[in-house]
């Protein structure tokens, strides 16, 4: 995007959603976290800031130094195009994860305000000098410094890597939305670009991961970390990380069906942990189709609909079944079935009409199915696509027909 440098971070990312993510991330890792623009100025409220750093920032000069330090950390990590771990101007350890879109540095997510366990540097911090230069009481600085967290280096490194990926996912979602809106507006005046707009629309919608899923997953991880030794929490983080990487790296690619299924397994694993004893799932895909090709993120939105719109509103136990049937060795029909709340007849008719329409509905379930339908027909032709059967209080079954492509 040619004019990306003129966009500010709050124009590319929903500020309320970012605050929610930052707060949950900080709670999960127990690290102080702040999101700043490219100049180091905070965009949203800091999360879990240490008493020491809050005290430093009460000084006008201290605040100026913190802003400069945050900006320099962001610039350095942006140049390297990866997270960096560094010492702040007071001597504490921080890390910066740059938010880079189309090679433009638009901001950074910063964490830390800790001392590294393997090399505790608190005793080397010159509190008398800081007190004199920033006009802060020495006794308050000493008390606050004693409360600074001591963290293992490996935890800092892993946290930096995860936040870098997560921050840039959100930025890419924002840019995709802007691109999508601009191109749709242009196609109203220039019909010859209709096909181009459809291609961009597909990529735009495909790059978005349901915030409802992300927020609830982070919330689940944060709660679990307080109740256990962290092994299950680590598995959740890895599963979520793999899902995010998959959606970013394969947004416009054909992938093996086995890869798509692995991604769905991770999604359902996360949801089964979140719902505890309310959700079970079973996947039975024929071996002879696993090495065939499918557009990435074709089955995922349908499975997500089954969980969020079918199982989640249901009070009783929920089940999701995924299986496949090969027909005449030419094509495969995937069946994604849930025993959720189902869809009323009138609403189902409307959904099917919109699914095959060029107009777009605002509801998440409609637009998700529409995009999957469009992509299947775009890649394979009009004879392939989606069919839906549903009964209220019984459940919904979605049939997805695609050719066997090697």
pLDDT at 189 (0 to 100): 47
DSSP notation for 276-319: GGGEEEEEE--GGGTTSEEETTSSHHHHHHIIIIIITT-SS-EE
- pLDDT value, residue 25: 84
Q: Which two tokens stand for residue 171?
A: 């930025």
Q: What mean pLDDT do residues 349-372 have?
A: 71
Closest CA to 78 of 112, 36, 106, 42: 106
Residue pLDDT, tens place only, 14-27: 788 788 888 888 88
Q: What is the pLDDT of residue 191?
A: 47
DSSP 348: H
Task: Answer yes or no: is pLDDT of 207 > 70.
Answer: no
Task: Write the pLDDT tens digit of every residue in 240-258.
Answer: 777 877 776 665 678 999 9
Average pLDDT value over all residues in the chain: 83
Q: Indicate whether 184 pLDDT > 80.
A: no
What's the average model confidence in pLDDT over 49-59? 95
Give me the phi and psi of 18, to 5 degrees please. -65, -40
In degrees, to the nearest 5, what angle opens at C-alpha 74 toward C-alphas 73 and 77? 85
Nearest-angstrom CA–CA distance, 381 and 8: 41
pTM: 0.56
Which carries the bigger pLDDT value, residue 236 or residue 225? Answer: 236
pLDDT at 368: 75
Confidence of residue 101 (pLDDT cuts 50, 70, 90): confident
Q: With a cut of 80, say whether residue 44 has pLDDT above it.
A: yes
Give the pLDDT score at 12.
74
Residue 139 is predicted with a pLDDT of 96
Residues with Cβ within 8 Å of residue 383, at least 6 apart in sequence: none
């Amino acid at each position: 995007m040619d004019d990306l440098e003129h966009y500010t971070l709050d124009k590319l990312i929903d500020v309320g959603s970012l605050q929610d993510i930052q707060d949950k991330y900080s709670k999960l890792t127990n690290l102080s976290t702040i999101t700043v623009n490219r100049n180091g100025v905070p965009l949203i409220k800091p999360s879990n800031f240490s008493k020491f750093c809050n005290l430093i920032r009460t000084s006008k000069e201290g605040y100026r130094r913190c802003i400069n330090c945050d900006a320099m950390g962001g610039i350095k990590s942006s140049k390297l195009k990866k997270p960096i771990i560094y010492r702040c101007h007071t001597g504490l350890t921080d890390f910066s994860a740059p938010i880079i879109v189309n090679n433009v540095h638009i901001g950074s997510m910063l964490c830390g305000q800790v001392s590294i366990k393997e090399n505790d540097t608190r005793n080397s911090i010159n509190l008398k000098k800081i007190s004199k230069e920033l006009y802060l009481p020495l006794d308050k600085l000493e008390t606050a410094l004693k409360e600074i967290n001591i963290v293992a280096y490996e935890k800092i490194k892993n946290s930096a890597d995860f936040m870098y990926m997560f921050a840039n996912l959100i930025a890419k979602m924002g840019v995709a939305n802007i691109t999508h809106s601009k191109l749709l507006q242009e196609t109203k005046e220039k019909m010859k670009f209709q096909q181009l707009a459809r291609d961009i629309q597909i990529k735009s919608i495909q790059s978005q991961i349901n915030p409802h899923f992300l927020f609830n997953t982070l919330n689940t991880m944060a709660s679990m970390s307080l109740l256990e030794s962290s092994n299950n929490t680590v598995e959740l983080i890895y599963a979520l990380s793999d899902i995010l990487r998959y959606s970013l790296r394969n947004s416009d690619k054909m992938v093996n069906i086995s890869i798509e299924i692995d991604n769905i397994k991770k999604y359902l694993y996360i949801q089964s942990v979140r719902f505890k004893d309310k959700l079970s799932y079973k996947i039975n895909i024929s071996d002879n189709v696993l090495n065939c090709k499918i557009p990435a993120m074709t089955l995922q939105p349908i499975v997500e609909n089954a969980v969020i719109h079918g199982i989640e509103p249901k009070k009783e136990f929920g089940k999701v079944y995924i299986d496949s049937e090969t027909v005449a060795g030419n094509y495969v029909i995937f069946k994604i079935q849930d025993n959720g709340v189902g869809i009323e007849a009138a609403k189902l008719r409307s959904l099917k009409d919109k699914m095959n329409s060029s107009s777009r509905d605002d509801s998440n379930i409609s637009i998700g199915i529409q995009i999957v339908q469009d992509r299947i027909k775009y890649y394979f032709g009009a004879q392939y696509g989606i069919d839906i059967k549903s009964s209220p209080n019984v459940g919904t079954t979605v049939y997805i027909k695609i050719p066997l492509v090697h």
